[in-house]
A and B are shown apart, each in its own frame.
Chain A
Amino acid sequence: MDQFEMLKAWAETNVETTMFYFLATVAIPLAYGVILDKTIIRSGFILIGVFGSICGFFLLLQAQFLALAQLMIYAVGITLVIVIALMLTNPRMEKSQLSNATPANQLGAFMVAVGLFMTIYLSVRPENWTLSSEPLDTNNVEVLGRALTTDYSLPFEFASVLLLAALIGSVMLAKAEKPSKPGEDDYEYTVVEDGPIAGDPRQDREPAVSKR
């Protein structure tokens, strides 16, 4: 066995593991960055990095379709989140006040975090999964598509019902406007009236009267 073959054999057994640890060392600090960064918009961009490295994990597991869907949905979805964050907060890098959490709040958050971790761990721990040594179908997009439209069509439809509910809910939230009294809010904002948009040609068509 010459050097070239040895290198090839080493690569076949070890590259996946090495890549996994590499991606993990990228993903975990980025995930901390999302929580710890004081600027909300920066956190949003870091979150895209986290999802990018998760996309890498899917590629390692040979789930190409899932990896690409992850990239496509989250890259665009998180951008939307950032845009909304920009609209709802002061976009000029103002440090958000995170320090007003009381010890009771912190304890509650810690309890929730531990509970969530335990739940997720118990549901995904490896004992419950049957391992298979079958080779993956090279065209696993087709397998996925068939499964989603035949065996698992009901869960698939339910997922879309969930999305519909979210959509209707957001419309309802956006519609339910209470008439706010002046002086009630802490900060000022300008209300844009419904009407012709600035620069609308209809508005500009005023009779040109020259002053003499």
Chain B
Amino acid sequence: MRNGAEILKLGTLTLVWWCIIFGAVWAACYIVGILIPMALTSYESDAARMTAETCRALTPILSVLVFIPINAMFMVLFERRGLAIFTVRLGPNRVGPDGYLQTAADAVKLLFKEDITPRGADAFMFTLAPIVFFAPSIFGAMPLLAAVTNYHELFQIANLPTGIFFILAASSVPVVGIVMGGWASNNKYSLVGGLRSAAQAISYEIPLVLSLVTVCLMAGTLDVVQIAKQQSGGILNWNIFGGGALRGLDQAISLKFSSSAPALQELSKSSFEQVLKSVYLEPTAQALGLGAGQEGLAGIIAAFAVVLLIGSIWIAYGLYMTGACAEINRIPFDLPEAESELVSGYNTEYSGIKFAIFFLAEFTNLFIVASIAAVMFFGGGDCPVPAWLGTALGGPQIASVINQALTPLIEIKLVDPPTLFATIWVILKVYSIVFFAVLIRGTLPRFRIDQLMDFGWKRLIPLSLIVFVLVVYAREFVNVHVGT
């Protein structure tokens, strides 16, 4: 275990930076969303009321603006240290305590660099490109905010009935920025980078959108808050496990092995077979119109449909991650900025603050992609432990102890327990997916452009269509999201 010490250091670094990031966001939200309006209620003038309302309405966008730069700094450092571990190096460990401030120093350096516009470049487009690249990632993330904070009242304003479609529409805009920047730079490498990016983004957007459409089909809504809510109640309700297709199975199995489990009050009178029958046989028999004597047939079809549904969703998740990696130009799909072929692709000519914006947007996009995956597939802010098991393990007692400890903070509205727990789970899930992306970056080589196109059009798009049709049919025979 030569890497053990390094992994431990990475873990400490992550925790410290999480405290910095989310402490800052928390403080900003609290001051603007709650403290200022509360202070203003003592004045009974119209101006005070107006200011309070404006402050509340601005909280979501402010939280995003505070979050993005600090988070990008952390993610760059996280990625560099993570890659160092994968390639058995040390990584940045000189600036600040154990390299904690490396990326902060980098950011300061980038801001003080001279901002150069190359000769012959289209100056207006050259300036516009980073903005077009970055702005959609800010407003595209807004509906997600409502979903990951457990629909906290300050963030309800950010929610939209067309949630996931809004996010996808916003995420399709940045490619315009890349092409624009590549063309305006007056540089062959930049131009080729921009063209590659356009081809890649258009090809891989189709499997990406189709995989998310599959999930929306299962959920029956486009609203991300609804999708997150439907999946509450433990790991078996998450979309990645068929959105409740395995509901009740965990309880039934634990009933089989220990019939005296005290927490299983609601199921104490029923047996393993009865649970199976009520969860699987009845909906299938109902869907097929089978009578009482054909339970064996219904059972086989039910089992087949459940396996098909869960398998399809796993494939859809794989398709989503592949398409998302291609959309945000990460290895193995980083052809638009392939250093060894195109110098640095579309951002070759950029320097100073404009390059910083490109860089910031790239890491923000990675975070957004991971949060979409967390909300759509992994239940958003839901605790993975099923509710009945949590009760059996003393969850309510622990929660009440925490609540009591936090009572003074809850009273001044600094902490809202449901939001707090939801956010902690979301943070864990999202950064796990980010870590997975870093792992892929450390593992896979880059695609060649013709391989990339073949893979996208001949493999991923047909596969995503097949998965879509399979889910349409499998969903009919399985109870998906019944409880909600």
Contact = CB atoms under 8 A, between A and B. Distances in A.
B198 A79 contact: yes
Contacts of B168: 72
Contacts of B205: 76
A186 to B, nearest CB: 24
Contact of B161 (A4, A64, A79, A197): A64
B172 interface: yes
B292 interface: no
Interface string B174-197: 011001100100100001000100
Contacts of A93: 120, 122, 186
Contact of B202 (A7, A45, A80): A80
Given A75-B176, A76-B172, A83-B179, A4 B162 contact: no
B1 interface: no
A172 to B, nearest CB: 20
Given A64-B160, A71-B172, A76-B175, 14 more contacts: A4-B46, A7-B46, A45-B125, A68-B162, A68-B166, A71-B173, A72-B168, A76-B201, A76-B202, A78-B176, A79-B176, A79-B198, A138-B161, A141-B222
Nearest to B47: A3
A102 to B, nearest CB: 31
A86 B195 contact: yes
Q: List 4 tightest A-B contacts by C-beta distance, closest first.
A: A3-B46, A68-B169, A72-B169, A4-B46
Interface in B113-141: 120, 122, 125
A39 B122 CA distance: 11
A193 interface: no
Interface string A155-191: 0000000000000000000000000000000000000
Contacts of A86: 183, 191, 195
A68 B140 CA distance: 11
B185 to A, nearest CB: 12
Interface of B: 46, 49-50, 120, 122, 125, 160-162, 165-166, 168-170, 172-173, 175-176, 179-180, 183, 186, 191, 195, 198-199, 201-202, 205, 222, 448, 450
Interface residues of A, number: 31
A200 B162 CA distance: 46
Nearest to B129: A45
A82 interface: yes
Given A64-B161, A79-B198, A83-B179, A72 B50 contact: no
27 contacts: A2-B46, A3-B46, A4-B49, A4-B50, A7-B50, A41-B183, A42-B125, A48-B176, A64-B160, A64-B161, A64-B162, A65-B165, A71-B170, A72-B165, A75-B169, A75-B176, A76-B175, A76-B201, A79-B175, A79-B179, A83-B195, A86-B183, A86-B195, A91-B183, A93-B120, A139-B161, A197-B448
Contacts of B122: 39, 42, 93
Contacts of B179: 79, 82-83
B172 A75 contact: yes
**B interface SS class:** helix
A181 B450 CA distance: 30
A65 B198 contact: no
A72 B165 CA distance: 9
A39 B124 CA distance: 13
A39 B195 CA distance: 18
Contacts of B191: 86, 91
B471 to A, nearest CB: 17
A42 B175 CA distance: 16
A145 to B, nearest CB: 10
Contacts of A45: 125, 176, 180
Specify which of B122, B166, B176 lies most central, judged by the most chain A CB atoms within 10 Å of its CB: B176
Interface string A62-96: 00110011011001101110110010000111000
A53 to B, nearest CB: 14
A83 B169 contact: no
A4 B53 CA distance: 11
Interface in A83-142: 83, 86, 91-93, 138-139, 141
Specify which of A39, A69, A78, A79 lies most central, judged by the most chain B CB atoms within 10 Å of its CB: A79
A83 B198 contact: yes
Nearest to B449: A197
Nearest to A65: B162
Contacts of A4: 46, 49-50
Contacts of A65: 162, 165
Specify which of B168, B169, B202 lies most central, judged by the most chain A CB atoms within 10 Å of its CB: B169
Given A68-B165, A72-B169, A72-B172, A79 B46 contact: no
